[in-house]
Amino acid sequence: MDLRITHLYPDLMCIYGDRGNVLALAQRARWRGIDVEVRDHEAGDELDPDWADLYFFGGGQDQGQDVVSRDLQGPNGDALRRSLAAGAAVLSVCGGYQLLGREYIPAEGPAIPGLGVLDVTTRAGTKRFVNNLLAEAPQGTLIGFENHSGRTYLGPAARPLATVLVGHGNNGEDKTEGAVQGKIVGTYCHGSVLPKNPWLADLLLSWAIERRHGPVELSPLDDSDELAAQRAAAEVARTRT
C-alpha cells in the first residue's frame, strides 16, 4: 500500500513549524508499513490533480498569501478543486484554511477570492488572537497555538472541527474552531498540530488512503508519548488562561 502527499507552497506558506504536520503524517503511515512519497508544490508549478491522496496547506505572511492566492485563481486552483472533488483529503492551517474558503474580506480594499471548497468566509479583525488553543472535538481533545487576526465564519455546508474551551478559535465569538467539509479540514491550530493530536492525523490518513485503496482500518499505534504531550500542553493552556 502506498500514500502520496503534496505539501502546498512550502516556501511561502510554512510558518510556525507547520512542516511538522507533513512529517507526522508520513511517519505515522510508515510505522504501519505504508510506502509514502512527499512532493512539494510551489507557485508556478503545474499541479497534477490525479497524483496526491493528501494535501497539506500551511499558513504564511500576507505577501506570500497574495502570491498563493493569485496562483490559485488559475489552472492550479482548478486542478486542486478537481483533486478534492475526486476524493483527496487536505489539512489546511491558518492562512491555508482561509484561502480554501469563499473569500477573505480585508479592512480596506476589495475582497480576495478563495478556492471556494470550504463554506467559510474570513474578515480582517482589529485585534490579533495569540493564545494557546484548547478545544474538544467528537474524536477527542484538540490542542495547538493560534496566531491570527482573521475572523472566520462557517456557512451551512461546513461544520466546526471542535468547540473551543480555551482560546479564541475561528472568531472569538461562537466557540467554534476550524471547519470540516467532506475530506477538507481547516484549523487555526499551529504547533505543529498533528504530533500532539494523533487522532486527527489518523483521520486524515484513513481518508487519504481510501482514495485509491478503498476503506481501511488503520492498525493502532502506541501514542502514549503523543498523548502525554497533549495533556501537558492542555494543562499549560488551562493555567495560562
Could you list the active site residues? 94, 190
Give CA separation, 57 vs 14, 18, 108, 217, in Å.
8, 9, 26, 25
By DSSP bridging, strand 103-105 and strand 112-113 are antiparallel
Instruction: Measure the CA–CA gap between 58 and 10, rounded to whole angstroms.
Output: 7
Contacts for 106 with CB less than 8 Å, ≥ 6 apart: 112, 124
**Which 8-state DSSP code applies to residue 158?**
-
Instruction: Measure the CA–CA gap between 54 and 201, rounded to whole angstroms.
Output: 11
Q: Are 72 and 99 in contact (CB under 8 A)?
A: yes
